[in-house]
């Protein structure tokens, strides 16, 4: 398989991961405002679980798989300073992913303690990390 196909797979997987990472906190904003045990709350629980389980998690796994594959084919990238910044932002994305999964479990158990405002702010974190990652990969600044 050519490296262009692997890059395409990586980009598609990352876009899918990001779409979910941007949408899930928005669902949490609505869920935090919903009446516990109500129809809206129960519907959001289903949507959140399916989004995380069937889109976000598989897309993250595919992102890592294609990314590692690219690094195996181009190991010199590991010595580039921009990649270290990208990996740091990626660590932030992984922590955010884990935090979103934790919040989903809290909502599923009707134990959310956070406000809609908290989730609005949390919704910005993946965007900021994505901006850093894209700039590192496309611009490849030298430090």
Residue 86 included in any domain: yes
Residue 111 included in any domain: yes
DSSP annotation string for 28-65:
HHHHHHSPTTSHHHHHHHHHHHHHIIIIIHHHHHHHHH
Between the CA of residue 46 and those of 5, 6, 58, 81, what are the distances in Å?
A: 34, 33, 17, 42
Q: For 26-63, how does the pLDDT look when each residue is reduced to its tens digit (9 = 90+)?
A: 999 999 999 999 999 999 999 999 999 999 999 999 99
Structural domain span for residue 128: 3-138
CA–CA separation, 20 and 27 (whole Å): 10
Residue 143 included in any domain: no
- Tell me how many domains the chain contains: 1
Residue 133 included in any domain: yes
The enclosing H or E element of 25 equals: helix 3-33
Does residue 45 contact residue 38 with C-beta atoms inside 8 Å? Answer: no
Q: How many CA atoms lie within 13 A of 8 on its CB side?
A: 5
What would the two tokens of residue 131 be? 């901006």
Does residue 86 contact residue 133 with C-beta atoms inside 8 Å? Answer: yes
Q: For 2-18, how does the pLDDT look when each residue is reduced to its tens digit (9 = 90+)?
A: 999 999 999 999 999 99
pTM: 0.94
């Amino acid at each position: 398989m050519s490296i262009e196909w692997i890059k395409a797979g990586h980009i598609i997987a990352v876009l899918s991961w990001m779409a979910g990472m941007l949408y899930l906190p928005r669902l949490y904003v609505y869920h935090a405002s919903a009446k516990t045990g109500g129809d809206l709350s129960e519907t959001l629980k289903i949507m959140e679980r399916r989004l995380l389980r069937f889109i976000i998690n598989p897309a993250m796994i595919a992102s890592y798989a294609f990314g590692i594959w690219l690094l195996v084919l181009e190991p010199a990238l590991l010595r580039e300073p921009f990649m270290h910044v990208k990996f740091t932002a990626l660590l932030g994305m992984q922590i955010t992913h884990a935090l979103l999964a934790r919040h989903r479990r809290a909502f599923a158990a009707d134990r959310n303690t956070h406000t809609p405002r908290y989730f609005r702010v949390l919704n910005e974190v993946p965007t900021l990390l994505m901006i850093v990652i894209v700039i590192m990969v496309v611009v490849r600044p030298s430090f």
